Homo-oligomer: A and B are copies of this chain.
Amino acid sequence: MKIEVDVAIIGAGSAGLYALSQVKKETSNFLLINEGPYGTTCARVGCMPSKSLIRIAEYYHERAYFEKSGIKNSDKLSVSIPEVLQRVRKHRDILVEGNIKNITRLGDKVLSGRAEFMDAHTLKVGDDEIVAKKIIIATGSSPVFDPKWKDFKEHILTTDELFEQDDLPSTLGVLGLGVIGLELGQALSRLGIKVTAVHSKEFIGGLSDPEVNKNMLQLCEKEFDIWLGDGHAVLTKVEDKIQISTDNNEVLVDKVLVAIGRRPNLKNLKLENLGIALDKRGMPNFDPQTMQIEDLPVYIAGDVNADRPLLHEAADEGRIAGYNVVKEQKKFKRKVPLAIVFTDPNIAFVGKSYKEIKEDSNILTASYDFKQQGRAFLINKNAGLCHLYVEKNEGKLIGAQMVAPGGEHLAHHLAWAMEKELTVYDMLALPFYHPTLEEGLYTLLRDAVKKLEHKKESILEIPFLGEAQ
């Protein structure tokens, strides 16, 4: 069948659905094409179920403070991993259900199948040919899986499979301590699974600031075994176990959770039929302010473009692509970078990265470690390290990397301040309630002021209070 539409969107995940929200305002002649199960990566196998698991693990972990807080018999507590996984799936199913309802409501405007480009206006989906004025690619990404592991793939878990398990073994290797590996590795270890994590690089959880990274590493090493920068791991089946071997270490585990990254789902799209250059990953050139691929009527949004693989960015990219395929094309200003890792303490990144600022002599680093922070102390969370990058002339906030209690909130504070181009002086003039973790941010900002020597005098004279008009 030949179907002619104004807009075809490939992928019914977050980016695709946000694109659709814009497209629908201008035309009802669209088609949403999806291969595989409905439900976004976020809700099905990503952000949402992992947050449920992490919360349960944190509940259980906190029993360490029960005894010294006057709560007795915490040693009687135990964990049933099958029930934990059931709980996580129950949470997930409720969230995915809403997701799927939104899609099925679209009726015959949704087509199930794999889309392949024939040219920049034409897609093949099974026996159907779709001719579209504009096309949005929003096919997302998938966990990397090494084909070498095929022979023992019953021992290998990706995040696509983890939450589907009936039970988990008592020993688990975690391959990769990026954002996902670190979140899940810590949570599973806290639930009583013996975790051995292997990471080929020196930096974990997406960090690039060496001191902040060291701080988080020390905290994590108290909880589970970490082999760092120890060459690439080789997996071998030994009887009914998997042996993980690196240059200097080896261990036998029951299963391995693979978290060595996610790869954009580009391979099956036949982008080569677009007649443009693709890089070695198969990625076309696109403009992150319009989401357009070169000057084609084709747009690429969300994890599939590998630029900012985060839900709120997928939403923005979807909206931008959706807007631009039905309206006069505009370039949009992208938001201040913000990323949060839901470990305990949280890791967070805001604004410019360490790599971008480390050689810039016009930027200083303020620092705070939460050890003496009142509220953090009272809730047994007085650990971490925040680095705030501050421009030396005006005291403008440039970026931050942190390991911090309540880091998810502090990171929003900093991202929003950077979005509004505030200085450390502007921020210190805001109300900080007592006793809160926000006061840790206050101390961090005070450290920046101390280091901004030439400003010190004038600021301290008006104790962070403006004169009344």
Interface flag for A379 (CB, 8 Å): yes
With a 10 A CB-CB cut-off, give which of A74, A289, A374, A429 has the most chain B CB atoms: A374
What string of 1s and 0s marks CB contacts (under 8 Å) between A371-402 and chain B? 00011011110000000000000000000000
A72 to B289 alpha-carbon distance, docked (Å) = 51
| Cβ–Cβ < 8 Å partners of A95 in chain B | 374, 377
The A404-435 residues at the B interface (CB cut-off 8 A) are: 406, 408-409, 411-413, 415-417, 419-420, 422, 426, 429-435
The answer on a CB contact under 8 Å between B431 and A415 is yes
What string of 1s and 0s marks CB contacts (under 8 Å) between A451-463 and chain B? 0000000001111
In the assembled complex, the CB of A362 is this many whole angstroms from the nearest CB of chain B, namely 22
The A263-282 residues at the B interface (CB cut-off 8 A) are: none
Contacts A415-B431, A434-B47 given; does A70 touch B77 at CB 8 Å: no
| Cβ–Cβ < 8 Å partners of A210 in chain B | none
A431 to B380 alpha-carbon distance, docked (Å) = 29
In the assembled complex, the CB of A394 is this many whole angstroms from the nearest CB of chain B, namely 16
A460 to B84 alpha-carbon distance, docked (Å) = 41
Interface flag for A188 (CB, 8 Å): no
In the assembled complex, the CB of A288 is this many whole angstroms from the nearest CB of chain B, namely 10
The A65-79 residues at the B interface (CB cut-off 8 A) are: 65-66, 68-74, 76-79
The answer on a CB contact under 8 Å between A70 and B86 is yes
| Cβ–Cβ < 8 Å partners of A461 in chain B | 323, 327
The A37-58 residues at the B interface (CB cut-off 8 A) are: 42, 47-48, 51-52, 55-56
Contact pick for A378, options B52, B320, B327, CB 8 Å: B52
Interface flag for A1 (CB, 8 Å): no
Interface flag for A80 (CB, 8 Å): yes
Closest to A375 in B: B51
A195 to B42 alpha-carbon distance, docked (Å) = 43
| Cβ–Cβ < 8 Å partners of A336 in chain B | 431
Instruction: Show 17 residue pairs from A and B whose CB-CB distance is below 8 angstroms, ordered by the A residue.
Output: A21-B463, A25-B460, A48-B435, A60-B66, A72-B80, A73-B78, A76-B76, A91-B377, A327-B461, A332-B468, A335-B429, A338-B433, A412-B431, A412-B433, A415-B430, A416-B416, A419-B430
What are the 4 A-B residue pairs with the smallest beta carbon separation, nearest first?
A70-B83, A70-B84, A311-B434, A319-B463
